[in-house]
Amino acid sequence: MLAILSNLFQPIVILSTLGGVIMGIAFGAMPGLTSTMGVCLLMPLTFGMDAAPGLLMLIGIFCGALYGGSITACLINTPGTPSAAATVLDGYPMTLRGEAARALGISTVSSFAGGIISGTVMILIARRLAMLSLSFSAPETFALAFFGLSIIASISGKNLVKGLMAGCMGILLSMIGIDNITAFTRYNFGSVFLSKGLSFIPVLVGLFALSQCFLTCEELFVERPKAKKMKNPFPSKEDMKTILPTIIRGGLTGTFIGIIPGAGGDISAFISYDMERRFSKHPEKFGTGIPEGIAAPESSNNGTTGGALIPLLTLGIPGDANTAIMLGALQMHNMTPGPSLFLTKLADVHTIFAGFMLANVFVLLLGMLGQNMFVKIVSVPKRILIPVIMVMCAVGSFSINNNFYDVLVMFIAGVIGYFLTKGGFPLSPIVLALILGQMCEGNLRRSLVMSQGGISIFYTRPICALFLVLGTAAIVWPLVKGARNYLIGRKGGRA
Instruction: Point out which residues bind other proteins (CB under 8 A).
Output: 23, 26-27, 30, 33, 36-37, 39-45, 47-48, 133-138, 178-185, 188, 190, 192-196, 199, 261-262, 315-318, 324-325, 327-328, 331-332, 334, 336-340, 399-403, 405-406, 442, 446, 449-450, 452
| Least distance (Å) between residue 296 CB and other proteins | 28
| Least distance (Å) between residue 453 CB and other proteins | 10
| Least distance (Å) between residue 55 CB and other proteins | 14
Q: Which is nearer to other proteins, 8 or 25 (CB)?
A: 25
Q: Which is nearer to other proteins, 10 or 399 (CB)?
A: 399
Q: Which is nearer to other proteins, 50 or 179 (CB)?
A: 179
* 79 φ/ψ sector (left φ>0, alpha ψ -120 to 50, else beta): beta
Contact 442, 181 (CB under 8 A): yes
CA dist., res. 294 & res. 185, Å (int): 39
Buried-state track 245-284, b at ≥16 Cβ within 10 A, e below 16: ebbebbbbbbbbbbbbbbbbbbbbbbbbbbbbbeebeeee
CA dist., res. 305 & res. 120, Å (int): 12
| Least distance (Å) between residue 461 CB and other proteins | 10
| Least distance (Å) between residue 137 CB and other proteins | 4
| Least distance (Å) between residue 467 CB and other proteins | 16
The one-letter code for the residue type at 134 is L
| Least distance (Å) between residue 56 CB and other proteins | 18
Contact 214, 231 (CB under 8 A): no
| Least distance (Å) between residue 44 CB and other proteins | 6
* 87 φ/ψ sector (left φ>0, alpha ψ -120 to 50, else beta): alpha
Q: Which is nearer to other proteins, 30 or 440 (CB)?
A: 30
Q: Which is nearer to other proteins, 33 or 126 (CB)?
A: 33
Q: Which is nearer to other proteins, 183 or 479 (CB)?
A: 183
Q: Which is nearer to other proteins, 44 or 245 (CB)?
A: 44
| Least distance (Å) between residue 439 CB and other proteins | 9
Angle (CA) 150 304 339, round 5°: 125
Measuring CA to CA, which residue among 68, 55, 117, 56 is closest to residue 377?
A: 68
Length reported for the chain: 495
Q: Which is nearer to other proteins, 324 or 365 (CB)?
A: 324
Q: Which is nearer to other proteins, 200 or 418 (CB)?
A: 200
| Least distance (Å) between residue 104 CB and other proteins | 20
Q: Which is nearer to other proteins, 159 or 195 (CB)?
A: 195
Contact 395, 407 (CB under 8 A): no
